[in-house]
Copies of this chain bind each other. A is one copy, B any other.
Amino acid sequence: MPLAGKATKMTGTKIALVGIGKIAVDQHVPALNASDAWDLSATVSRKGSVEGVPAFTDFHQMLAERPDIGVISLCLPPVPRFEYAQAALLAGRHVMLEKPPGATLAEVITLQKLAAERGLTLYTTWHSRMAHAVAPARDWLADKVIRKAHITWREDVRKWHPGQDWVFEPGGMGVFDPGINALSIMTHILPEAVHLQSATLEFPANRQTAIAAQLQFSGNVSADFDWRQTGPQTWDIEIETDGGHLALRMGGNVLELNGQPTAGENTIMGEYPALYARMAELLEMGQSEVDLAPMIHVSDALTLGRRKETEAFFF
């Protein structure tokens, strides 16, 4: 990186990134490097590192040795995340959590209380809410009556999580790992909250989490999640209202109103840059943002859903 760039970065807020896996490399690191507001000052990971950034393997050592780093972004898988988040808050650091914010609801509520007690910022991020067309969709829906909504979220787990058996382990979320992105958009754009009424969950005979799910919510809202879709991938939300038809396609990136694509706002930033901009804003205001709604719908589906065994799944 040229010296000019380095000098600019010196003014950013120091942040440490924990869990240098695929999502960190693909999204978090580029977002932080592209922003003047942030200075990626350390990484913590068993194996991964980022060139030019001090790398730690032990989180407690990093916390002890780098009191100058006030913000921690956690992008490791949900199950171990709580211990790191709790340690960071107890060490007086602000915390940003990848989605889902934890393996259980109770642990996130514990973190929320801890952050509040210590006057620290906790931000449970939902990256799909930052997709280009989500805010315009929300604005358009705000004064409409929803007659019907349907989510189709079908992708190929072999393409997006090649060989990652942990996604099918307890706490690995299964098809709700992508599905919760759809639910994070749904809970953000619908003008009235909905609740699950019934669900069917398809569990492969050899797995602990669902590979497909059909959800029926109140208010004529439904969702179809499937992790077995080869060929073109589908991340669509279609909504019938008293004022016309809205479709959000490409995971919230394309908006169609009454069948016509709307002009994209090309100046809007990407999902992860927008998350980090929001974190900077929360720090500035001294606030937290903790929204459990998408995770509650997943828990509700696993509590209320009817289980069907389906054929064994192998990567």
Alpha-carbon gap, A198 to B103, bound state (A): 10
- Least CB distance from A131 to B in Å reads 23
- A103-B303, A105-B303 given; name 14 further pairs at CB < 8 Å: A104-B195, A104-B296, A104-B300, A105-B296, A105-B299, A105-B300, A106-B194, A106-B196, A107-B195, A109-B193, A170-B305, A298-B303, A299-B299, A303-B303
Q: List 12 A-B contacts (CB under 8 A).
A: A104-B195, A105-B296, A106-B194, A106-B293, A106-B296, A109-B195, A110-B195, A113-B193, A170-B304, A208-B307, A299-B303, A302-B303
Give the residue of B82, B106, B296 whose beta carbon is less than 8 angstroms from that of A109: B296
A84 and B116 alpha carbons, distance in the complex (Å): 36
- Supposing A306-B170, A306-B208 touch, asked if A300 and B106 sit within 8 A by C-beta, the answer is yes
Most chain B beta carbons < 10 A, residue from A109, A194, A296:
A296
Cβ-closest 7 pairs across A and B: A106-B195, A104-B300, A299-B299, A107-B195, A170-B306, A302-B302, A171-B304
Q: Is the interface of A mostly helix, strand, loop or mixed?
A: helix
The contact string, 1 if C-beta is below 8 Å from chain B, for chain A 94-112, is 0000000001111101100
Contacts of A161-208 to chain B: CB distance below 8 A = 170-171, 193-196, 198-199, 208
Interface check A297, CB cutoff 8 A? yes
Chain B residues closer than 8 Å to A170, beta-carbon distance: 198-199, 304-307
Given the interface pairs A82-B195, A113-B193, the reply to whether A304 lies near B106 with Cβ below 8 Å is no
Task: Tell me, rounded to whole Å, the shortest Cβ–Cβ distance linking A171 to chain B.
Answer: 5
| Chain B residues, Cβ within 8 Å of A304 | 103-104, 170-171
Q: Across the interface, do A196 and B113 meet the contact criterion of CB distance under 8 Å? A: no
The CA of A61 and the CA of B79, in the complex, are separated in Å by 49
Q: Which residues from 256 to 315 on chain A have a C-beta closer than 8 Å to any C-beta of chain B?
A: 293, 296-300, 302-307
Which B residues lie within 8 Å of A106 (CB)?
A: 193-196, 293, 296-297, 300
> For residues 203 through 240 of chain A, which have their beta carbon under 8 Å from a beta carbon of chain B?
208, 218
**CB nearest neighbor in B for A306:** B170
Q: Chain B contacts of A104 at CB under 8 A?
A: 195-196, 296, 300, 303-304
